[in-house]
Structure 1
Amino acid sequence: MINADEVAKLCYERFSQLPRRGKPEPGREWTLLAAVVKITRCESSGSVEKEVVSMGTGTKCIGQSAMSPKGDVLNDSHAEVIARRGCTRYLIQELRRAVSGRGSAVFRPSQRGKWRLQPGVSFLLFTSHTPCGDASIIPMTASQSQPCPAVTSANSCERTNGGGDLKRKAEEPGEGQNSKLPRLEEKATQENLKRAEPWILKRNVTKTTEIKPTGSTELSQTDCAVEHPQVPDIHRTGAKCVPGGQDDPMHPGVGYHSTEVLRVKPGRGEPTLSLSCSDKMARWAVLGFQGALLSHYLQEALHFSAVVVGKCPYSPDVMHRALVGRCAHVSDLPVGFSVCSPVLLQSSLEFPFSHNQTELQHQAGRGRVSPCGAAISWCNVTEQPLDVTANGYKQGVTKKALGTPKARSLLCKLELFHSFLSLVLATEASSLPDSLRAAELHTYWDYKQASQSYQQAWQQLRSQAFPLWPRSARDLLLFH
C-alpha cells in the first residue's frame, strides 16, 4: 500500500536538493511540482523501495504562433508534462542499457525486439496540485470560504474567473483613492494561472482591496452576506473548452463550468494547442505515458499505478471522473493497451512553493505574488540530468542563440527524437523491433506513425472518447 505522505515528502525533499537555478523566489513566486516515482517491490523480502526518477516544475505554455516546425521549442511547461517528458529520457537510458546487454533495473526482454517491466517494478505520478482542466472543477466544501455571487456593483463583492491573473487600476494608494472600487476583470489575462484557485475580493473597513486565494484568509460574513446570501460554488480552472464542442455556461456558482470536456491551456496572450493536464493524464491512462516512439520497444503500455496529489482543493470523485471515467467505456484496443484505473490518493503535506504558501509568506512592498517564469526538469540520467527552461527555451539563452542546439531544451521534441534515434542505433539489427525495420523511416512523423499498435489505440480512444482532440499539424512534425 502506497502512503501518500511518504511519497509527497520524498518528492519535496528531492526538490530541495536541486540547485537554486529556476526555483521560485520565496514569498513572491510560486510554482507547481510533479514527479515520477519508481516503485520496486521485492517479493522475497516484502520490502518496497521508492525512487524519484523524474521531476518537473512549471505553470506555463507557449502560444500557437510560437510553435516551431523544427521541433526545437518546448510547447508545454506544466509540471506534469515536464515530469513525464523527463521520464521519457530516463526510460530511453534504461532501454539503451537493456539493448546493449548492460542490464537494466527497469526492463527485461520479452519477444524479439520487445521489452517489459521487471517483476515488482511500477511507476506512480505525484503532483503538488490537482491537474488543470476537468480535475480542478471541484465543489467547494462547507468548511471552505464560500465566494460571493459574481456582481458588477462596485459596492459589492466581486469574483473573477478563478485562476485568472486579476487586474485592477489602482493597486497602490494614489490619486483616485476615493473613487469607486475598481472592477476586477472577468476574463483571464496573459499568464492565466493554470490551476483552479478560486479568488475572493474582500473589502475591509478601510475600503482597500485585498486579493487572496480561497483558504488563505477568512471571508468576512458581514461584507457580503447581508445583501447576497452565499451560494454553493466550485473551484474554477483557467483552461478553456476546445473549439467546436460544449462551452462553459458561466452561470453563477456550480453552473459556471461544463464538466467532462476537453480543454486547452491558456497561453501567454494567445490560444495554445496544449491540452489540459487532466486530458493528457486521461490519455496516458489508456495509451500509457511512454508515448508512440518508445512503444516500438515495449511489449505493453506503461501506466501509472497511482496518482498522488499534494495538499490542495481536491475531490477523489472529480479526479476519477477526469482521469478515468471519461475513458472507462473505451473498447477494442489492440493487444498491449487497456484502460487503466490508477489508485488515487491525496497527501496532507503542502508544497512549500505552492500559491497558497507563497501568499502566506508574502510581505508588503515586495510586489505582487506571481507564478515563476522558469520550468525545471531533473531526471535520473547520467548526462545532463538538469534542464531549466523559460518560454520554451533554455533559461538565459540570448536571441542570437535561438535556433541553435545551445538554446534547445533537452525535453523538446527534437532532442527526445534524437535521443530515441541513438537508442535505435545502439540496437543490433537482429534485435530491432519489427516496426522499426521499414526502410522509409526518416522524420519524427514517420517514426510515430510506424508505431502501429499505439496509433490504433489512439484512434480508438479518439473516436470513442475524445473526438474533438485537436490534431497536430503535420508540418510541425516533419523534422529529422
Structure 2
Amino acid sequence: MHRPVQNEEERYLLHQLHLAAALKEDSIFVPGTQRGLWKLRPDLLFVFFSSHTPCGDASIIPMLEFEDQPCCPVHRDWANNPSVEASGDLEDPEDKKKCEDLGSPVTKKMRHEPGIPDSVAHHQSFGHQESGPVPPSVSGSHLTAEELAAVTGMAPSGAKVVDVHRTGAKCVPGEAGDSGKPGAAYHQVGLLRVKPGRGDRTCSLSCSDKLARWNVLGCQGALLMHLLEEPVYLSAVVIGRCPYSQEAMQRALTGRCRNVSALPKGFGVQEVKIEQSGFLFEQSRCAVQAKRADGPGRLVPCGAAISWSAVPEQPLDVTTNGFPQGTTKKAIRCLQARSRISKVELFRSFQRLLSSISEDKWPDSLRMRKLETYHEYKEAASAYQEAWSVLRKQAFGSWIRNPPDYHQFK
C-alpha cells in the first residue's frame, strides 16, 4: 500500500531538478519565467494510488445493515467503563505487547497470533483501522436525526445506516473530539487526527489530513518551492478495492478546504479527481484473511516499511521502526542508520543540488540572505509559508506543530 509520505515524492523531485539543472538529460521540469525557477512540463500529471482508503477522516464510512460488523466484539466491561474502550484499544496489554514484538523484525511477514478465537479475526477482516466500542444489536433507530446526519448522506438512497467503519486515528488536541457513542454517532467527521498505530501516539497527522494539505500546498514541500514556480499538485487519487465512500473521500480531501481563500499566487484549492479501482492488494488484511479461511489466530502485520523512488542511486529503502534494515542499537547514531527519505538526508540532497548550480542562477529567495539550517531554508520559502499560514488559519487550526528540532541540520 502506498501511504502519503511526502519524503518519497521529494526524493524523486529532487533528482528531476538535478537533471533539469544539469541540462544533460530529459527532466519532468522545464525553465520557468523567473530566474532560477522551474515548472512541471504541461503534458505531465501526477496520480496517487493507494491500495486502501486513507486513515483518518476518509475512513469514517457508513456501514449499512446488510454489511458485516467491522469492529471488534464488545469487551465485557464496556457497559461499566466505556471510557476504557474510547481509545480504540480493545486488547489486553499483554496481548498488545505480543503483537508489537511479533511485528517488529523486518524478516517477519503477516503472522497468526495464537490463542485468539477465529470469531475475533473474522470481525477484524477490514481492520486496517483500530476499533472503538460497539455494543451488541446496534440499530439506526437508537440514533437521533442529528447524529445520523453526518453519515446517512453518504449511504445509498433508502439504505439503513447502523454504524460507521472506525478509524484508529485519534483526534488531535484542540479538536472537538469523538462522542464515543454507540453506532453511527461514534465518530465526528471533518476533524484532524493523528496516524493510528499500536505504539505511542505520534505527532504524524493522518493520511487523510496530509492529502488534504497537499491539495492546497502541493506535494513538493517547502524546500523545493525555492526552485519551483508553482506547486506540484496531484491530478487524481485512486483507491483500491476496500471499504470506500466517494462522499467521505471528497469531504476529507477537498471539502474541508473548499472555503480557503486569499492564498498567495500559484496556490489554490484543487479539484482533484477521486476514483476507486477494482484492484485488490493481495497482501491486504481482508485478502489474506479470505485466503486463510477459518484458520486460527489473528493476523499481525510486520513493522517494516519499503519505499521506492525512481532515482538511479539506491532507489529502494527498507526500514524497521524508522531505521534501515539490519541497523543495530550501537549503530543508531551513525550516518548509515539514516533512512534515505529522512528529513536530514533530503536536506543534504537539496544542498548538493544548490552546490551544483552557480549562485548567480539561484532564485531570489536563496540570494537575499545567507541560509544555513534546515529550519532557515524552510522559513525562507515565503510564499509556501504564507499559504500554509492561511490554510491553518482558515481550515487546519489544530494542526500539530511540534516536530523534532531540525535547527541543527546544516
Name the TM-score class by shorter chain.
Answer: 0.7 to 0.9
- Partners of 1:138 and 1:279 in 2: how far apart? 16
> Match of 1:378?
308
Higher helix share: 2
> Match of 1:269?
199
> Match of 1:413?
343
> Match of 1:304?
234
> Match of 1:281?
211
* Aligned pairs, number: 363
> Match of 2:46?
123
- Partners of 1:170 and 1:452 in 2: how far apart? 49
What is the CA-CA distance between 1:341 and the residue it aligns to? 1.7
> Match of 2:4?
80
| Partner AA of 2:54 in structure 1 | P
> Match of 2:374?
444
Shift in alpha-carbon separation, 1:371–1:94, aligned structure 2, 3 A: same
The SS at the match of 1:345 is strand
Deviations 1:277-301 (A, max 9, x none): 1111100000000000011111111
Within 5 A, what are the aligned runs for 1:357-376?
357-362=287-292, 368-376=298-306
Within 5 A, what are the aligned runs for 1:74-223?
79-81=3-5, 84-110=6-32, 111-146=34-69, 153=76, 166-167=90-91, 209-213=119-123
The SS at the match of 1:389 is strand
The SS at the match of 1:341 is coil
| Partner AA of 1:123 in structure 2 | F
Q: Higher mean Cα deviation, 313-322 or 134-143?
A: 134-143
> Match of 2:114?
none
- Partners of 2:93 and 2:118 in 1: how far apart? 13
Higher strand share: 1
Kept after mapping to 2: 8 A contact 1:147/1:233: no
Deviations 1:181-223 (A, max 9, x none): xxxx9xxx979x9xxxxxxxxxxxxx98442246679xxxxxx
- Partners of 1:155 and 1:331 in 2: how far apart? 45
| Partner AA of 1:355 in structure 2 | R
Give the aligned CA root-mean-square deviation in angstroms.
3.2
| Partner AA of 1:256 in structure 2 | Y
- Partners of 1:415 and 1:348 in 2: how far apart? 37
- Partners of 2:381 and 2:256 in 1: how far apart? 25
Deviations 1:104-131 (A, max 9, x none): 3310001211111112101010001111
The SS at the match of 2:202 is strand
> Match of 1:460?
390
Shift in alpha-carbon separation, 1:239–1:103, aligned structure 2, 3 A: same
| Partner AA of 2:121 in structure 1 | I
| Partner AA of 1:459 in structure 2 | S
Shift in alpha-carbon separation, 1:334–1:163, aligned structure 2, 3 A: same
- Partners of 1:155 and 1:295 in 2: how far apart? 50
| Partner AA of 1:212 in structure 2 | H
Kept after mapping to 2: 8 A contact 1:90/1:379: yes
| Partner AA of 1:92 in structure 2 | L
Kept after mapping to 2: 8 A contact 1:162/1:237: no
> Match of 2:184?
254
TM-score, normalisation: structure 2: 0.80
> Match of 1:76?
none
The SS at the match of 1:140 is strand
| Partner AA of 1:94 in structure 2 | Q
TM-score, normalisation: structure 1: 0.69
Within 5 A, what are the aligned runs for 1:312-351?
312-351=242-281
Kept after mapping to 1: 8 A contact 2:260/2:395: yes
- Partners of 1:282 and 1:344 in 2: how far apart? 12
